[in-house]
Amino acid sequence: MRKNFWAFALLVALIFVFWYRALFNFFTQDDFILINHFSQNNLWQDIKNVFGPPTVTHWRPIHNLYFFVTGNIFDKNYFGYHLATFLFHIGAAFFVYKTVQKLTNDFKAALIAGLIYGAHPAHFVSLFWISGGATTIGFFFLISAIYCYLLKKQSASLTLYLLAIFASEAMIVGLPIFACYEFIFRREKLDRLFLTMIGSTSVIFLIIRFALFTSRTTFNVYQLELPFKNCWFCRSIGRSDCLCSTFELVNINRFITNQNFRQETKC
């Protein structure tokens, strides 16, 4: 218990030292739209916007709920939004520490893992941009689900996994993580029921997320072509744009980065 306290305190201190500037970053881009869309309207309209079909953003109910709660509490105080994201980030770093400690039974290795996660520069966007916090929130629930799974609390793990994918579809990566652990480390005692439940849950989520709650217009905005976009399988299910979206967004990000770099070089 004492080690956990000091580990948590050290993680909090390190994260604030590395990322405190993010707390004072003003609203930008989608922040204004999402805050106005998910909060400070009438209660029924806000709840409908949070959990219903998307009209201005992706269908991420838990991430939308974040804006509903923080928007009604903090209004135009951007510090509060960032602080809420910080709490999720600190919690995720602590559960990284606890998960590694459970796997290795090594306090030092676990603490180092938590510190690396907490200070890693990959979190720049999700901590400095309020609307970019979906992966931070999602990973908090995912790593919590993995930790509960290691404690053999399957019901809690499955619930937390659901919250994770409802925060960010990227957290579907939890499915292969659970499967790999089962097949590599527990080959003789596979938890087939848990694998079946988490697998079926993931498939149902993907169908709902991409086939029902993703507008084709969302993906028509990004017109970069991929070789497998016109493959028979993609055409047959009629959702090739959805299947390629992740890769398209990565390519767009690379293109924008390269353009900015060229402009800076010219200057």
**Tens digits of residue pLDDT in 2-50:** 888 999 999 999 999 999 999 998 988 888 889 888 888 888 888 988 8
Q: Are residues 236 and 265 in the same domain?
A: yes
pLDDT, mean of residues 68-90: 92
Whether the CA torsion 146, 242, 65, 252 is positive or negative: it is positive
* Domain range for 229: 222-267
Q: Are residues 73 and 125 in the same domain?
A: yes
**What pLDDT score does 218 carry?**
61
DSSP state of 61: H
Q: Are residues 243 and 115 in the same domain?
A: no
Q: Helices (H), strands (E): how many in the chain?
A: 14, 0
- pLDDT at 65 exceeding the cut of 60: yes
163/240: higher pLDDT: 163
**What pLDDT score does 216 carry?**
64
pLDDT band at 244 (very low <50, low <70, confident <90, very high): very low
| Among candidate residues 216, 222, 212, the one with its CA nearest the CA of residue 252 | 222
Q: Are residues 217 and 227 in the same domain?
A: no
Q: Are residues 127 and 243 in the same domain?
A: no
pTM over 0.85: no
Q: Are residues 166 and 259 in the same domain?
A: no
pLDDT, mean of residues 231-249: 44
| Helix axes of 30-38 and 61-74: crossing angle, nearest 10 degrees | 90
Count of the separate structural domains present in the chain? 2
Query: How many Å apart are CA 98 and CA 37, to the nearest integer?
Result: 37
pLDDT band at 140 (very low <50, low <70, confident <90, very high): very high
Query: How many Å apart are CA 65 and CA 47, to the nearest integer?
Result: 8
216/115: higher pLDDT: 115
- 49-54 contact pairs (CB < 8 A, 24+): 53/212, 53/213, 54/213, 54/214, 54/215
- For the chain, what percent of residues have pLDDT higher than 70? 80
Q: Are residues 162 and 239 in the same domain?
A: no
Q: Are 136 and 90 in contact (CB under 8 A)?
A: no
Q: Are residues 44 and 100 in the same domain?
A: yes
Query: How many Å apart are CA 44 and CA 57, to the nearest integer?
Result: 19
Q: Are residues 212 and 115 in the same domain?
A: yes
**What pLDDT score does 220 carry?**
62
Q: Are residues 189 and 226 in the same domain?
A: no
**What pLDDT score does 234 carry?**
45
**What pLDDT score does 75 carry?**
86
Query: How many Å apart are CA 164 and CA 198, to the nearest integer?
Result: 12
- pLDDT at 144 exceeding the cut of 70: yes
pLDDT band at 182 (very low <50, low <70, confident <90, very high): confident
Average pLDDT of the chain is 82
Q: Are residues 133 and 263 in the same domain?
A: no
Q: Are residues 231 and 200 in the same domain?
A: no
